[in-house]
Amino acid sequence: MQPTDLSKQWIFKNFIHLVSQQEMRDSKFAFRMREEMQNFEKEFGEKSNLTLSDIHLIACIGDFSPINVTSISEKTGLTKGSITRISKKLLKLELVKRQQINDNKKEVYYSLTPKGQKVHLIHNRIHHEIEERFMKFLDKYTDEQLNFARNLMQDLTEWDY
């Protein structure tokens, strides 16, 4: 077998490994978020039982408020039905609020309540910590290596297996 073929096999094997590791990393993120949410629940005196989808919906609303269901769907990849279901839960927990803008009764926009803003801040802080660690990890690579990695990552996101 040619060295190029061996390299390709090694890259493929590690790509599969990276994809499977993502589940573990998602679990770690969820664990960290749960720890933070326990403190949040103590502060507000109620259980929220938020899922990662719930938290990422809060993050999207916090980043783009006021925002409608269609825009949330485009930004998160969640279906409109999922957004409606999750938003009902978040409304009940008083983490988001609904409003209509410009007297359009069909168009509903969401924004965060002060409680929702607190969850948004927790989420952003954890993401920022992860990003800082990732940037430090990348410090060991040259500009040329980073450009190659950027191109590879772009190609991988566009590739459909």
Q: Check pLDDT > 80 for residue 21.
A: no
Give the tens place of pLDDT for each residue, 50-75.
888 898 999 999 999 999 999 999 99
| pLDDT confidence tier of residue 12, bands split at 50, 70 and 90 | confident
- Written as six digits, the tokens of 66 are 């006021």
- Written as six digits, the tokens of 60 are 């999207």
Q: Which residue has the higher pLDDT, 145 or 14?
A: 145
Q: For residue 119, which of 46, 69, 25 has the smallest C-alpha distance? A: 46
Give the tens place of pLDDT for each residue, 101-156.
777 777 889 999 999 999 999 989 988 988 999 999 999 999 999 999 999 989 98
Could you tell me if 97 and 115 are in contact, meaning their C-beta atoms sit under 8 angstroms apart? no
CATH numbers and ranges of domains, the chain: 48-158 (1.10.10.10)
| pLDDT confidence tier of residue 32, bands split at 50, 70 and 90 | confident
H helices of 3-142, where?
3-44, 52-64, 69-76, 80-92, 114-138
